[in-house]
Amino acid sequence: MALAVLTAAGSGNRLGCEGPKALVELAGRTLLERAAEGLADAGVAALVVTAPEHDLEDFRRVLPGHVPTAPHVPVVLVAGGASRQASVAAGLEALPEAAALAGVDLGEDTPVLVHDAARCLTPPEVVARVVTAIEQGSLAVVPGLPVTDTLKEVAPESSQVGPAVLGHETLAGARPGGTPAGSTEARLPGEACDGDTHPEVRRVVGTPDRSHLWAVQTPQGFRWSVLLRAHEHGRDLAASESTAATDDAALVEALGLPVDMVRGDVLALKVTTRTDLLLAELLVARRPT
């Protein structure tokens, strides 16, 4: 029997909503309800849900101690932390309580999922694939899809983008803010001059081989003992989103333990921006019932 931490304590800055993102409605139902029900539909026995500290009461109205459509699935609400990683760590502390409410024996090998409420349309089949992989011997499993875009590595925002240099010629005028077109002034690559900084232009420094790259989704699944160890080991990173791990599997990788990949689904998209919300609305409208 799998258990889950459902992360919902974010504020949704990039969505630009009033109040927490998890309480935003998608075709009449909150992201939070949809995500919790998806986990329950997939057979998850109990949930710990992370909520913003000041919104715990609103969350309790949506999830009154259990998943609304699955009263046999208990929900324990906890206040989240300063980063997603910190929220998951807070959720893990409450997992024994959730397991006890569901009558599940929480052992070292029990499959534990960590899922983003923002991925509220994740099909139960994806959840099942992750749980099955853990039950069949994986220590940690992530769902994902091969990337379809070509990806570029870019230089840090702080680095200046100067005019491109081709041989001895300066390709001035090829980008906004550069030396005026027609200038013959040559420059060495990386050599800065006044007015070269152009905040909207970043220099490409590499093109990774796309055939090895997958975009990762949630729920991610772990053996309970592995997830606990990974979070204990990475604890010092959790204080701020700028240092925190962006997914739990990265904390397992940092322990030197293997992480496996199973196929995700386009429906497991993360609602991050307005465009994502619009896309999710279209997907819900077209979903067979």
CA angle (116 as vertex; 114, 121 as ends), nearest 5: 115
How far, in Å, CA of 228 to CA of 116, rounded? 18
Stretch of residues binding ligand CTP (CB under 6 A), selected from 6-14, 54-62, 129-137, 162-170: 6-14
Q: Report the sign of the C-alpha dihedral through residues 185, 187, 193, 198, in that order.
A: positive
CB of 10 or CB of 144, closer to Mg ion: 10
Least distance (Å) between residue 123 CB and Mg ion: 23
Based on the shown chain and the rule CB under 6 A, indicate whether residue 170 belongs to the binding site for ligand CTP: no
Residues 52-81 interacting with ligand CTP (rule: CB under 6 A): 80-81
- Stretch of 12-20, 194-202, 207-215, 226-234 contacting ligand CTP, by CB under 6 A: 12-20
Picked from ligand CTP, Mg ion, none, the partner binding residue 270 (CB below 5 to 8 A depending on kind) is ligand CTP
Which one of 118, 172, 259, 277 is in contact with ligand CTP (CB under 6 A)? 118
Which structure tokens are listed for 12?
């949704």
Which of Mg ion, ligand CTP, none does 80 bind, CB closer than 5 to 8 A by kind? ligand CTP
Say which residues have a Cβ less than 8 Å from residue 40's Cβ, sequence separation at least 6.
47, 67, 69, 70, 73
Q: With contacts defined by CB under 6 A, name the span among 83-91, 133-141, 203-211, 221-229 that binds ligand CTP.
A: 83-91
Contact residue for ligand CTP among 4, 21, 34, 74 (CB under 6 A): 21
Is 117 among the residues that bind ligand CTP (CB under 6 A)?
yes
Which helix (H) or strand (E) segment holds residue 10: the answer is: none
**Which CB sits closer to ligand CTP, 50 or 179?**
50
One DSSP character per residue, 141-179 reads EEEEEE--S---EE--TTS-----EETTEE-TTSSTTSS
Closer Cβ to ligand CTP, 74 or 80, answer by number: 80
- Residue 68 in contact with residue 35, Cβ under 8 Å? no
Check residue 162 for interaction with ligand CTP (CB under 6 A): no
Indicate whether 12 belongs to the interface with ligand CTP (CB under 6 A): yes
What token pair was written down for 57?
């009461």
Cα-based distances in Å from 27 to 33, 34, 47: 12, 10, 24
Would you tell me which residues interact with Mg ion (CB under 5 A)? 10
Alpha helices, H only, the chain: 31-41, 56-62, 84-93, 95-102, 124-135, 224-233, 248-254, 274-286
In whole angstroms, the minimum distance from the beta carbon of 218 to ligand CTP comes to 8
Binding site for ligand CTP (CB under 6 A): 7-14, 21-22, 50, 80-81, 83-84, 87, 116-118, 270, 272
